[in-house]
Structure 1
């Protein structure tokens, strides 16, 4: 073998080894970025009570959301119920288009007979449990008059809920091409899109504003008036094939464009979590990935009492007071501060006092009189690392704030005392000026 050929082989082997090494580094970096090693394109995990973000992967990438967008339709239905615009037992007559859509091959549906009345509750259950697309459109038409109008309501509500990354073109999450030529908005082959963060925010608001959503979402099967029983597509519910302890919602979704996604929620004891996985490659994968996330949540996080009620921050036990019988007032927290955190990290959080600036004068003093229990600000916590504690909503951010109140009364000093203080202050300032002037002579 000549030297040139030997050198060529050496170069080829070197390049192969170097490329493999780089790939290993890249793979290790990617694994470090995603401690769960999920195959889902995007994912997120929340504390269900506060919306605190506990884990995320590509959470702001906008992807197809498929039938998970039915959570917005559920929100608007429940809102209409609460506002008295519709009732659960209100009849809805099925038109020819809804009937044909309910019989369309390849779509999740319960059969709906043209000209027959179904109650709002029956249609809602068909939508929430078996992801019935025709039932969803029937509800959209009931609330919006037309599905086109309802889609406008969906996008308007999304803006109100501050979802940020979203676009709704229909009420069901189907591809518009599956709607038998009646697509309400967008292009003929367009679909609803959202980011994992927006999807999680929608789920969080749905559970927070209308917790009764779980009464339906938690039902593993739907006995319908057509005599058939339909399984919930959330196969992680009790008695179904991927049963998982604590899962009681919320919504699956799948199309060719979106892949397989799942917004889940689970509760054990007093701890609830919400997770979203988007764009997995199979139906089973979305449940396996969700199980990974929920196992991670329940094994690694929990509610911790970081500070007791009546806690006083070291070095900030008092606030100066003007015009009072005392020149300072003791302050303390009104409530304990509880937060869902990673196990073993309780000591990694430090308290921060935030005073109400509207109550302070230019010298940073409170003005007497002050009543015991009067709120003067709040205490929050920050990680020692300096990282921001991330919440999906401003309401959630407030969950990590506890009121700071006066621990005692401070009465206003009478006019005589205030006058003497003023005189004392005057002569004190005058004496200081004289001393300074005398020092200046020498």
Structure 2
């Protein structure tokens, strides 16, 4: 009787125990950080190592994060001397009309006004000013339609994937008052996967780190001291002094449209380490998009990067692989040449996983002939590269997957042997070949 009673009580308590157990299970799978986004990625800004990704290959709306491409092309044009910071832009009907739309982020431009490229750039980098962005595009390419060609060409050059540009700003084309670039749809909007957005940001910081001198400014007066003066508060509310301030944040670009939702490409440094985070269409726990949602998601990525990862030097400069310290050389004064790693390999990895990465030598077979280098061989000749192979678990790889790791180069030089030495060597090789054949023949007789 007692046994039956115990079984009955256990049967009644089972549903309650199951509910209690379910309550202790995390709301998100172990593979995520519990952020509410349509796409996200976190990378080491120095090496390009991907530290975390979530739906990072799906093309999504990027809104004003588009302006990072416009900034990249601007810096390149300044560097090449095709335009200058002091060059002046004269407002036309298109940029005037867009600038007067106060629903959009803008600094109002005078219909008969002229503005320097530096003024317009600061309005773009700090305030995400849309008409100012179009003005820069027109200055560089003549029209925004022609500027789109530069954007597409640069995207291909940088190796971005699955992108579509329809304007220079990231606005929906409906907001451009019927003056959107030729060949694009009236309701089109720019799209790109989080991985490509991160790669664009990575290259922008690599090639033009001076962009941070402006993106870190939290507030500035546009045309200060004039009747056109307007305060520009940076839309990056993670900068010092703002409501979602995060230590070390100094960029990079927010983005918000109905189509794209609340997006952000943020970058921060701490203890000498810089990371880049991208969040796309961020929402809160109730599914509602907001500024807070995108900065909360970014904060979670930053905390994960700085808290769980550390920079490790896996291979020092001058490192030689135990099994391949030298490569054979033919037709040279020396038979071999030493090879070494040119630059150290450092990158951020999960502290608990640093012992799982093993350096692997990859020889460039196109530099070899029949397994050897051909003299003459110069010192510092690139003969291969190093891959870091993770022996266990998931490895997200690098944001710039087409770039190999550190180069492996020749440690010294090998001059080509003179004709007499080459002749004697050939004769020696000939007789050695005959001798080996004879030995093989004799051995064959006794088998």
Same fold at TM > 0.5? yes
Q: How does 1:105-120 map to 2 (within 5 A)?
A: 105-120=102-117
Shift of 1:392: 2.2
Between the two proteins, the alignment pairs up a number of residues equal to 421
- Paired with 1:417 and 1:177, the residues of 2 have a C-alpha distance of 77
Contact 1:323 1:418 in 2 (8 A): no
Structure 2 residue ranges without an equivalent (≥5): 1-13, 283-288
Structure 2 SS opposite 1:173: coil
Q: Partner residue of 2:191?
A: 193
Contact 1:336 1:402 in 2 (8 A): no
Contact 2:163 2:193 in 1 (8 A): yes
Q: 1:326 to 1:170 in 2, by over 3 A?
A: closer
Structure 1 SS opposite 2:106: coil
- Paired with 1:425 and 1:88, the residues of 2 have a C-alpha distance of 71
CA offsets 1:8-43 (integer angstroms, 9 cap, x no match) = xxxxxx9x99x999x999x86951231x11111110
CA offsets 1:286-322 (integer angstroms, 9 cap, x no match) = 1111111111111122321112333332333344455
Contact 1:166 1:194 in 2 (8 A): yes
Contact 1:108 1:133 in 2 (8 A): yes
Structure 1 residue ranges without an equivalent (≥5): 1-13
CA offsets 1:354-403 (integer angstroms, 9 cap, x no match) = 223244342x23456667655443333211138666222256x33x2231
The one of 245, 248, 260 equivalent to 1:246 is 248
Structure 1 SS opposite 2:281: strand
- Pairing 1:309–2:317 present: yes
- Paired with 2:60 and 2:230, the residues of 1 have a C-alpha distance of 34
Q: Partner residue of 1:380?
A: 387
- Paired with 2:114 and 2:333, the residues of 1 have a C-alpha distance of 75
Q: Partner residue of 1:332?
A: 340
Q: 1:388 to 1:361 in 2, by over 3 A?
A: farther
Normalising by structure 1, we get a TM-score of 0.85
Q: Partner residue of 2:280?
A: 278
Q: 1:95 to 1:374 in 2, by over 3 A?
A: closer
Q: How does 1:201-216 map to 2 (within 5 A)?
A: 201-216=199-214
Shift of 1:199: 1.2
Q: Partner residue of 2:77?
A: 80
Q: 1:151 to 1:424 in 2, by over 3 A?
A: closer
RMSD, aligned α-carbons? 3.1
Normalising by structure 2, we get a TM-score of 0.84
Structure 1 SS opposite 2:362: strand
Contact 1:45 1:54 in 2 (8 A): yes
- Paired with 1:228 and 1:372, the residues of 2 have a C-alpha distance of 59
- Paired with 1:360 and 1:134, the residues of 2 have a C-alpha distance of 55
Q: Partner residue of 1:291?
A: 299
